[in-house]
Structure formats: C-alpha cells, structure tokens
Amino acid sequence: MTSSPFPESGRAKGYEKRAVDVFLARAREAFEADEVGTMRSSEVRSVAFPLVRGGYAVTAVDAALGRIEDTFAAREREHALSRLGARAWVAETRDTAQVVLDRLRRPRGARFERVGMLRYGYRVDEVDVVADRVARYLAAGDPVTPEQVRAVAFRLQRGGYRETQVDAVLDSVVEVMLAVG
C-alpha cells in the first residue's frame, strides 16, 4: 500500500490525485535540476487541478504549493541578484510595486475593468477592501503576508470586476512580496 502525501477529501471534492502527483514530480525534478527557469514560482502559483470526489484535501495541497512557490521565488531572487546586481534588482522590484500601487490607488469601484451587467465578476466592494489593505502594505509597510494574498477569495456579482485583471494584480503583489523576502 502506497502512503498518500496529503490527506484525502473524503466525500467532499478535492484535487485530482494524479494531476497533483504529476505536477509535484515535475516541480521536484525542476528543483533538483538546480536551474533557474525550468519552473518558475509564477507557474506554481497559477497551477490549477480538477476537483473530484475523494481527491486530495485542497487546503493541504494549497499550503504545500505555497511553500514550493516560496522556495522557487527564493531561488529566482538569488539568481536575479547575482545576474542584475542588488541595485538593478531592487529598482526592478520597486517599479513593479509602483505599477501595482498606482492601480490600487484608483478610486473605489474603478480600480479594474468591469464585466458587462449580464456577466459575473468579482464583487467590487470585497476587491476594494483587499486593494486598500495591499496598497497600505506597499505604501507604508502595513503587515500582509503572501499567504494572506494567496488565500483571498471573492464572491461574484453581476457587473463585477474582471477576474483576470484582479488575479494578475494579486499575482504581481505576491511576486513583489516574495522578491523582497
């Protein structure tokens, strides 16, 4: 009998085991190859698995993916520092943070493109609350962790914010957080 790397979801839906196992094997191979670029932290952050009954428990897999992403991000940071030098790397990270901050400082309700009134997007009020918190982190250093940003989930509303834009900005926030360590 083979031991499972994660608890199972039981009767609830969880991540398809085979898909998770294949991705984790690829991630391990990329990490052990010790070459930057074979897999990036952004790829770990954006991976998605099918949901099935009796799969791996979502929270356990997501926590492991967060740790794997952190590991790849640390490697990318070290590589960037050695390739660019500290000054250029800091400038690049600062530029990304400023672009995100500029977006998040837009007026509430107008920070992201909205979907049409017949379509569903992220709830504007919920996204704006998170955007305010992240903006305070970027501008003044208020405490926010990458795990908190990764765990954000929004309900849907007709005419809400376009999901892809919100997700892209949150991904950039995590990248900045991981870049500064």
Q: Does 43 score more than 90 pLDDT?
A: no
Cα(166)–Cα(160) distance, integer angstroms: 11
Share of the chain above pLDDT 70, in %: 96
Cα(32)–Cα(69) distance, integer angstroms: 15
Contact 46, 69 (CB under 8 A): no
pLDDT of residue 70: 84
Cα(22)–Cα(157) distance, integer angstroms: 35
Which residues is 122 bridged to in the sheet? 156, 161
Contacts of residue 95, defined as CB under 8 A and 6 or more positions apart, other chains included, come to: none
Burial 159-172 (b: 16+ CB within 10 A, else e): ebbebebbeebbbb
Query: With bands split at pLDDT 50, 70 and 90, how would you rate the model's confidence at 1?
Result: very low
Q: Which residue has the higher pLDDT, 97 or 89?
A: 97
Query: Whole-model pTM?
Result: 0.66
Q: Does 108 score more than 90 pLDDT?
A: yes
Phi, psi values for residue 47, rounded to 5°: -65, 145
Cα(169)–Cα(174) distance, integer angstroms: 9
Tell me the two tokens of residue 158. 């007709």
For every residue of 21-41, DSSP letters joined together read HHHHHHHHHHHHHT-TTSS-H
Query: With bands split at pLDDT 50, 70 and 90, how would you rate the model's confidence at 42?
Result: confident
